[in-house]
Amino acid sequence: MLRKWSFRALMLYFVFGLLMYIYLFFLGDSTIPEEMMGTSADPATFMNSRELMLSEEYSKIRNLLFFMSTPYEWLLYFLILIFGVSRAFANWAEKTTKFAFLQKAVYLFWLNILAFVIVYPFQYLSFYFSTTYNISTQNFSQWMGDELLDFWINYILMLVIVIVLYALMKKFKKRWWLAAWALSVPFTLFIMFVQPVMIDPLYNDFYPLQNKELEAEILTLANEANIPAEHVFEVNKSEETNALNAYVIGIGSNSRIVLWDTTLEKLSKDEILFVMAHEMAHYVEKHIYFGIGGYLILSLFGLWIIAKWMEYLIQKHGNDLKIKEVSHISSFPLFLLLSSFLLFMASPLTNLSSRYTETRADRYAIELTEDKEAAISSFQELSRVGLSQVNPPYLVKLFRYSHPTMMERLSRLEQFKEEE
């Protein structure tokens, strides 16, 4: 049974990988429709031939890594279960100490170490190709430092979740998922509140805009949108990447709009003002709160489904999975596997919702700045510098794109110009 299950899982993974490779490199259509050729949405109008070639190459590699790494994570957790690794870690932790808190800490440490080592090749390949294509500016030691920082932050957060989750599983045999969801609401809000001031500064330096002339114009724009001035920050991302970005993060008094210094260096003043207006739209229209609300609703249904699946799988295949009961710590890889699977399956819906809010933010920015030319050129530069496909294949858009494709954004701007 063990050999049959592991063989089938490996074969399914390799078949999936082969199909995705064929789709991304041969079948997926990323060409520009004939009616868009020669317009601002045509990458041939703002990229040279080398940039066009590199953007196609890099996008295909990056998309393949994404579609291969996600089921790889499922395969990892599945094999950890059926080969008894999770059960062995749990037994080891129980022999190490008599305190339940420390047992979970020991178990989770070794599980995370194993996952880190096994997933490392995908992480390194992502770093290698981003460096090869001149997207990343980090050297190996800098990148590895961030990876280790990620490991410890994730370990601490996961340890808190595991301790609370398995205490609830023991106390509420049938309704643990509801209790877990109820506690996840304040926990999620707390993490969102402290992330801009406690977590993000561990990776980068955040400071007020240094260009005072530009700052004055941004503050004027922020005043028109009724946004407190202290919510605009600059971050030194040029130490990591050549890509451009800006975003809204945090809630309450810690909410802020953040501009990467690469964006400030490579875009013109008018383009930066458009990007800022786009991010201001998220603040004005409370998109981050709607996002949190949607996440909490989906997590309620997700936890309920996970609880039902875990109960069924352990009752029917508990011996094969080497799990005693749902509330035993050895079931944690099963929880992670099901969570990852549901998040992946829900991503087309969450991405669709995100693309809607991004479209609204684009329109808001155009109405606020009244500068469609700056909007067009900023989107074109974002694509050119990031080596992004303007019109990605359908499955890539469905599962990866939380923003509208550049072709969609630029074609809408063309329509706005025609309407004027």
Q: Please choose, from the candidates 315, 307, 278, the residue with its C-alpha nearest in 3D space to the C-alpha of residue 403.
A: 278
Phi-psi region of 196 (alpha: psi -120 to 50; beta: other; left: phi over 0): alpha
- Say how far residue 342 (Cα) sits from the centre of its chain: 15
The answer to whether residues 323 and 87 touch, using CB atoms and an 8 Å cutoff, is yes
CA distances (Å), origin 364, targets 216, 244, 281, 359, 360: 21, 20, 6, 9, 6
Kindly report the CA angle at 65 between 84 and 404, in degrees rounded to 5?
125
Q: What long-range pairs does 342-346 form, CB within 8 A, spacing at least 24? A: 342/302, 342/305, 342/306, 343/302, 344/70, 344/399, 346/298, 346/302
Give the separation between CA 360 and CA 345, rounded to whole angstroms.
25
**Catalytic, out of 240, 271, 279, 358:** 279
Q: How many CA atoms are closer than 13 Å to the CA of 30, on its beta-carbon side?
A: 25
The phi, psi pair for 248, rounded to 5°, reads: -110, 135
- At residue 408, what is the residue type? E
User: 279 an active-site residue?
Assistant: yes
Q: Which residues are identified as catalytic?
A: 279
